[in-house]
Amino acid sequence: MEHYIDIHSHILPGVDDGAKDMEMTMAMIDLAYSQGVRVMIATPHYYPGHVRHPKEYMDSVFQETVSAVKEKYGDFTILPGNEIYFREGALEKLQSKRLHSMADTPYVLLEFSPGAQYKHLCGAVRKCVECGFYPILAHIERYQCLWKNEKCIGELVRMGAYMQVNAENFTGGFFSAQRRWCLRLAREGLMHFIGSDAHNTQERRPNLNQAADYLKEKLDEAAFRRIMFDNPAKLLRGEYLK
């Protein structure tokens, strides 16, 4: 069985609104492992001006988590990252290594407020690309300016952005408008990554396999493989996606 790479997770214990403690972290890892995930990028939130923990503390929690996971699962890898709420100054922090890019590649995971203006997203993408980063927009289904707006999404993609959708969109019922729209994005090549965005073991649990099962049924083989395997593997190697 081919294994999944989960590029978006709040798996580190006690650092943001994700896993409360190491016990929950390990329970989330158990769930992810049982679904076939073998690589997970830890992407704790970073909100400018609301830094709860210094980077040194974050890095020590990351190392502790890596050790705990390795002890239980020799074949499960946790890699560093951040989900960065984009504001002025975030890029400087990335450049000075005060924030993590995705698995130490040029890819960066960016978050915005749901009501963010389209021009703000464009500005963020432009600045990232100018600085040599490859921006991934986290859970694009949340942004009002992009909802059912493939034209704007396409423009951002042409500017150099990659699009991530949360797996939970594919677990809705048959009539879910969200699910239908996300499937359309996948078919049009406007969805590059799926992430669990897992926060806990309850309502925001690791859930990549449900989304994968759905997409396997609905997409052609090449599109399915691109989203679930090829794109995340290229991300880990720091390669551009075509």
83 near Fe ion, rule: CB under 5 A:
yes
The residue with tokens 């190491």 is 22
- What is the phi/psi pair of residue 211, to 5°? -65, -40
Buried residues in 64-89 as b, exposed as e (16+ CB within 10 A): ebbebbeeebeebbbbbbbbbbbeee
16 near Fe ion, rule: CB under 5 A:
no
**Number of residues in the chain:** 242
Would you say 153 or 167 has its CB closer to Fe ion?
167
The one segment of 34-42, 54-62, 82-90, 178-186 that binds Fe ion by CB under 5 A = 82-90
Give dist(CA 80, CA 63) in Å, integer: 9
Would you say 43 or 70 has its CB closer to Fe ion?
43
Give dist(CA 202, CA 84) in Å, integer: 24
Would you say 6 or 83 has its CB closer to Fe ion?
83
List 197, 207, 208, 235, residue binding Fe ion (CB under 5 A): 197
The one segment of 127-135, 165-173, 197-205, 226-234 that binds Fe ion by CB under 5 A = 197-205
Question: What's the one-letter identity of residue 199?
Answer: H
| Residue whose C-beta lies closest to Fe ion | 197
Distance of closest approach, residue 74 Cβ to Fe ion, in angstroms = 27
Sheet of 107-111: strand order equals: 45-46, 83-85, 107-111, 134-137, 162-166, 193-195
Would you say 83 or 141 has its CB closer to Fe ion?
83
Spatial contact of 58 and 44, defined as CB atoms under 8 Å apart = yes
Distance of closest approach, residue 94 Cβ to Fe ion, in angstroms = 17
197: nearest Cα among 138, 114, 112: 138
Would you say 141 or 197 has its CB closer to Fe ion?
197
Would you say 83 or 153 has its CB closer to Fe ion?
83
Would you say 18 or 106 has its CB closer to Fe ion?
18
The residues in 142-181 that bind Fe ion, with binding defined as CB under 5 A, are none
Give dist(CA 186, CA 184) in Å, integer: 5
The one segment of 119-127, 180-188, 191-199, 203-211 that binds Fe ion by CB under 5 A = 191-199
Range list of H helices, 40-117: 55-72, 90-95
x/- string (CB under 5 A) for Fe ion, residues 40-79? Answer: ----------------------------------------
The number of residues that bind Fe ion (CB under 5 A) is 2
Distance of closest approach, residue 8 Cβ to Fe ion, in angstroms = 6
Residues engaged in binding Fe ion (CB under 5 A):
83, 197
